[in-house]
Amino acid sequence: MAALKFVRSVWESFRCNSGLEPLLLDNLRISAAQPGKVKFELEIQKQHSNRLGTLHGGTIASLVDLGGSLALASNGLYATGVSTDLNVTYLKAGKIGDLLRAEVICDKLGKNLAFTTSSFFSSKGELIARGSHTKYVALAWKDPNNQIEQMEPEGKAKSE
């Protein structure tokens, strides 16, 4: 539960301090979080669509970016670094009114770089898109708002 509460607080910081996220993704709902993994949902609305009425690729790219940040937050990082690489593979069109479900995993969190992967599903369970995201995190480790120790599994020593 600590990870979910912390990830939601980081999301709230994005909503309060960013220009893009509150405009584009304000209806995003984080449904689950554990160290290294986050799930969230977004009802696809007009502002998420292209002129054909389907989910805009830029919306998915923004979700890969944000999702990667939230996956890092699930490990206790409040400052989540800066993007160095982002890739999206679009597999199927999402439509206005659909509920988009996402699962993002932190594959590796190192001293300098972090790597995440995202999967996006329709409400029917169909894979809509996949993404990968690399972030530079060296400076993020120094943020005083981090809660890294609180996210470590019980019994794990700091030196491990």
Q: pLDDT tens, 71-107?
A: 999 999 999 999 999 999 999 999 999 999 999 999 9
| pTM value surpassing 0.85 | yes
Nearest 5°: the CA angle 127, 72, 150 is 125
Q: Using the predicted structure, report yes or no on whether residue 154 has a pLDDT greater than 70.
A: no
Query: Are the beta carbons of 73 and 116 closer than 8 angstroms?
Result: no
121: Cβ–Cβ under 8 A, 6 or more apart, which residues?
Answer: 100, 101, 102, 103, 127, 128
> What's domain 2-151's superfamily in CATH?
Hotdog Thioesterase (3.10.129.10)
The candidate with the shortest Cα–Cα distance to 78, out of 27, 135, 25, 147, is 147
Note the pLDDT tens digit of each residue in 27-56: 999 999 999 999 999 999 999 999 999 999
